[in-house]
Amino acid sequence: MEKPEGIQPTRRHFVKVAAAAAVAAQFGITYSGQAKANRGNLSARASAAPRVHTSFGSLKQIKAGILNVGYVEAGPVDGRVVILLHGWPYDIHSYVDVAPLLAAKGYRVIVPYLRGHGTTRFLSSSTPRNAQQSVFALDLIALMDALKIERAILAGYDWGSRTADIVAALWPERCKALLSVTGYLITNPEANKLPSPPKEEWAWWYQYYFATERGELGLEKYRRDLARLVWKFNSPTWNFSEATFDRTAAAFNNPDYVSIVIDNYRWRLGLAKGDPGYNGIESRLAVGPVIAVPTITIDGEHDPFTPPGRGSIYRKKFSGKYEHRTLKVGHNVPQEAPQGFAQAVVDVDGF
């Protein structure tokens, strides 16, 4: 789960919504801002639930950098490329309903497993299982190179937002446009040393749990139970089924899952030093580089990690054409509101 790094909101947005409203919220796409679609409006059928897909097509594998990346692909091979990036504790199935919507609009859609998830594997057993922010961005660049993709629309939430933000900031020539849930998530390690208000610290309990040996053992033993607990807290209005959860939980069986999750959160707290070979990139990220590519940011109204102000906290971090939207869902925006997420991809492509 993610919050805008280095930004200290003055309050936490906790909400409780009646379970009867969950299904409507899942597919609602009410947002602030004006949609400007250039390839057809996906929101016309917003009041009706779209077809719910239970799986992708066949998984593909490709050697990319230090990884053998597992990914799915949809749409025409000559379409404009969209790369959809998942978060934690989630997987590619966050996009199981988004990908068909975009493919039907003529996009070539790529959805990869991040390192430590699903069928993505390290090529060498001797490679450090490093999970500082820069390595995920370099994984994405390596995947694009392996697939011979020069530029793509990048869209993500949670860990995926951070990864897309970094590529958009440091390698804008590879990013045609950006869709980032929770806005600007590039980590500022120094700002992370500052305490947040108690309710925020409480919400981030698992970060401190993972900082301990007990937490590492707990993630190893209870990875499914912990993930289910996080899902329910993150998305209080999302009435997901056990089958939906089980489909994603299979991705946590990756042999590097625990190592990657633990290293990621320890690095953010300054408890894991990271690889000195990435110090140059991390130094550039630590100053909070402004993102100039066309961008739409999205907040989940019922996401307990959404900062107040409808994007105002991170607005100055985006200097190009920009729009902010708030969808009436929780943290896992693409899976809770596939129509709204897909429409935002189409719209930002038209900026």
Q: What is the pLDDT of residue 308?
A: 86
pTM above 0.85, yes or no: yes
Burial class (CB in 10 A: 0-12, 13-18, 19+), 74: buried
Evaluate whether 314 touches 285 at the Cβ level (below 8 Å): no
Asked whether the predicted pLDDT for residue 8 surpasses 60, the reply is: no
Work out the pLDDT band at 40, boundaries 50, 70, 90.
Answer: low
Q: What is the pLDDT of residue 200?
A: 86
Rounded to an integer, what distance in angstroms lies between the CA atom of residue 102 and that of residue 176?
A: 16
For residues 252 and 23, the model is more confident at 252
Q: Which residues, other chains included, contact 296 with Cβ-Cβ below 8 Å and sequence gap of 6+?
A: 33, 177, 178, 179, 180, 322, 323, 324, 325, 344, 347, 348, 351
Work out the pLDDT band at 183, boundaries 50, 70, 90.
Answer: very high
Asked whether the predicted pLDDT for residue 9 surpasses 90, the reply is: no
Asked whether the predicted pLDDT for residue 11 surpasses 60, the reply is: no
Work out the pLDDT band at 41, boundaries 50, 70, 90.
Answer: confident
Q: What is the pLDDT of residue 192?
A: 85
Q: What is the pLDDT of residue 279?
A: 96
**What is the amino acid identity at position 146?**
A
Q: Over the stretch 264-295, which tens digit does the pLDDT of each residue have?
A: 999 999 999 899 999 999 999 999 999 999 99
Among 119-133, 214-228, 242-256, 299-313, the minimum mean pLDDT is found in 299-313
Q: What is the pLDDT of residue 51?
A: 61
Average pLDDT over residues 57-69: 97
Q: What is the mean pLDDT of the chain?
A: 89
Q: Over the stretch 325-342, which tens digit does the pLDDT of each residue have?
A: 999 999 999 999 999 999
**What is the amino acid identity at position 143?**
L
Asked whether the predicted pLDDT for residue 254 surpasses 50, the reply is: yes
Q: What is the pLDDT of residue 55?
A: 85
Asked whether the predicted pLDDT for residue 164 surpasses 50, the reply is: yes
Q: Which residues pair with 155 in a beta bridge?
A: 84, 179
